[in-house]
């Protein structure tokens, strides 16, 4: 077992990634920081490093559609905690990120020391959110219902939902997950039933609503 921690930093801004890397490497001798500049690269890194200690995820990197990217990563490796690091730090986005499985949310305006402290809190098993922001409760009953339904999905069903959102066909998903197409059809049927929708398209539209309402206008 390697000393230190293994972190995955997923952000499309090289300078910000570099600053995060320097901060994370200082958290333990021998710590390893893996970097990804687009969502496809993040998925590859997670698949190859299932023993990672923490993922730091930007919501608006290429290939990720807001909070749907978070949902997809929770399906790929549900045991690895995720901190969302985003410039779009309104209460709605923060609350939904945590409800969808993030272990924390850090604003990009936070200092590196604040980020370091947040990372340590999550490594210690805690959950973090920016101070001084009242998260409140979900004001949209449809979104509240949908988040509750997503929370009932198994990790594999969550992963399938994320791949549906990427526009993959059943046979493509089956190939990616190394299972039969019949198995994927069963997963898709279960996802549609749990989300109370009639088609893949409706499922993707619903998932997109969580992201669009929350991170609309995010850069």
pLDDT at 64: 73
Under a CB-based contact definition with an 8 Å cutoff, are residues 105 and 118 in contact?
Answer: no
Asked if pLDDT for residue 205 goes beyond 80, the answer is yes
Segment among 13-17, 109-113, 138-142, 197-201 with least mean pLDDT: 138-142
* Cα gap 115→95, rounded to integer Å: 18
Cα–Cα distances (Å) from 143 to 3, 55, 128, 138, 140, in that order, read 42, 25, 22, 7, 5
- Residue 215: its pLDDT value, please? 47
What's the CATH superfamily of 6-123? Response regulator (3.40.50.2300)
pLDDT digits (tens, 9 = 90+) for 31-42: 899 999 998 899
- Going from N- to C-terminal start, the domains of the chain cover 6-123, 141-215
Residue 117 is predicted with a pLDDT of: 94
Closest CA to 10 of 49, 1, 28: 49
Q: Give the pLDDT band of residue 3 (cuts 50, 70, 90).
A: low
Average model confidence (pLDDT) across the chain: 88
Report residue 125's pLDDT band, with 50, 70 and 90 as the boundaries.
very high
Q: What is the pLDDT of residue 175?
A: 94
Number of H helices, E strands in the chain: 10, 5
Exposure of 187 in the CB half-sphere (CA atoms within 13 A): 25
pLDDT band with cut points at 50, 70 and 90 for residue 1 = very low
DSSP 8-state secondary structure symbol assigned to residue 131: T
- Give the pLDDT band (50/70/90) at residue 212: low
Report how far Cα 101 is from the mean position of its chain's Cα atoms. 8
C-alpha angle 127-133-136 in degrees, rounded to nearest 5: 85
What does residue 57 show for φ and ψ, rounded to 5 degrees?
A: -120, 125
**For position 174, what pLDDT does the model report?**
95
Residue 1: name the closest of 46, 45, 51, 50 by CA: 51
pLDDT class for 62, splitting at 50, 70, 90? confident
* CATH number of 141-215, picked from 1.10.10.10, 3.10.20.30, 3.10.290.10, 2.40.10.10: 1.10.10.10
% of the chain at pLDDT higher than 90: 58
The whole-model pTM stands at: 0.86
Lowest mean per-residue pLDDT among 47-51, 70-74, 193-197, 214-218 = 214-218
Choose among 197, 181, 218, 180: nearest CA to 88: 218
């Amino acid at each position: 077992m390697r000393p230190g921690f293994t972190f995955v930093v997923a952000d499309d801004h090289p300078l910000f990634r570099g600053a995060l890397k320097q901060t994370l490497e200082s958290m333990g001798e021998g710590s390893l920081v893996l970097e990804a500049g687009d969502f496809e690269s993040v998925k590859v890194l997670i698949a190859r490093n299932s023993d990672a200690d923490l993922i730091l995820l930007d919501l608006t990197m290429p290939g990720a559609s807001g909070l749907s990217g978070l949902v997809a990563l929770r399906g790929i490796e549900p045991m690895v905690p995720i901190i969302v690091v985003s410039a779009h730090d309104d209460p709605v986005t923060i609350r939904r990120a945590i409800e969808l499985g993030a272990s924390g949310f850090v604003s990009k305006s936070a200092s590196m020391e604040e980020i370091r402290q947040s990372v340590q809190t999550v490594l210690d098993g805690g959950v973090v959110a920016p101070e001084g922001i009242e998260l409140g409760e979900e004001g949209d009953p449809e979104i509240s219902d949908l988040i509750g339904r997503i929370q009932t999905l198994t990790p594999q069903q969550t992963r399938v939902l994320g791949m549906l959102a990427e526009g993959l066909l059943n046979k493509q998903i089956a190939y990616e997950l190394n299972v039969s197409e019949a198995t994927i059809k069963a997963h898709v049927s279960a996802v549609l039933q749990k989300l109370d929708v009639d088609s893949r398209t409706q499922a993707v539209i619903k998932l997109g609503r969580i992201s669009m309402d929350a991170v609309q206008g995010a850069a």
